[in-house]
Amino acid sequence: MEALRLGEWFEDRNVNASVEQMESKASFEDEIRFAAPQEKPDWAVVLGGDGTLLGAARRIGRFGVPILGVNLGGLGFLTGIPLSRLYPAVEMMLSGQLEEESRIMLQARVHREGKEVCCFHVLNDVVVNKRTLARIIDLNVSINGTFLTTFRADGLIICTPTGSTAYNLSAGGPILYPTMESFILTPICPFTLTNRPLLVPESSTISIKLGKKAEGTAILTFDGQVGFNFYYGDEVNISKSDERIVLLKPPDYNFFDILRTKLMWGGTTYNKTS
């Protein structure tokens, strides 16, 4: 197991390290048990795919621990270090040669009958979806207290720039540079074709309610990993979190190279000569 080998590698260099197995998906009850670590580590090295890093971001990264993501999965937008470069990257981390990149998070607060029933901090997205076999749902959306529209759709994605290359991209939303300070609202298969993705500033508070009394027809998902039932009468308020994620990147990291490689964009390299 690569994590155990890495733990031994740290031990050989007199670096205190603990090895923990983390499931990318967790129940709501499991998720809310995570609290700030008693002893804050200097760094966290995450071995896995983007889903594993998202889980680590919510559970430890949001407390200010810089994360180095090593890709053992598929796409790897967040876990940008290939396994072949693991140990050189960790050497650079220990010697302070990696660059820190700060990313915004979303905070989602759900209110039910006048009481807050849950609060989540997410790195990628908050999604309101219809449940299995449900029809189109109506979602009343307001921004900073001003009514925007009622989306008739399969659901609605609210994502960060980091999350713009996830579900948002599949739903036809735009790609944002990951360090930008803004959110995207992207309807999922909207009934009204003029309902297009909307970019809003990071100071926005987005409020969502079900438009029709259809108890149990919707579910909130946080980073695609934790689900929470969303009933008629509930309200979810989504805003910029006070917490941020810091990802560690090598000096030669380039987001546009990642896009071209991961999304398999074609074209030729143009070199201008004088």
Query: What token pair was written down for 60?
Result: 């430890």
Catalytic residue among 12, 30, 42, 50: 50
Q: Annotated catalytic, 50?
A: yes
DSSP string, 56-69: HHHHTGGGT--EEE
| Closest of 186, 187, 188 to residue 175, by C-alpha | 186
Beta strand 99-112 with 226-230: parallel, antiparallel or unpaired?
unpaired
For tokens 């050189």, the residue is 88
Query: What token pair was written down for 180?
Result: 């930008």
Please answer whether residues 131 and 217 qualify as being in contact, where contact means their C-beta atoms are separated by less than 8 angstroms: yes
Q: How many CB atoms lie within 10 A of CB 235?
A: 16
User: Which residues are part of the catalytic machinery?
Assistant: 50
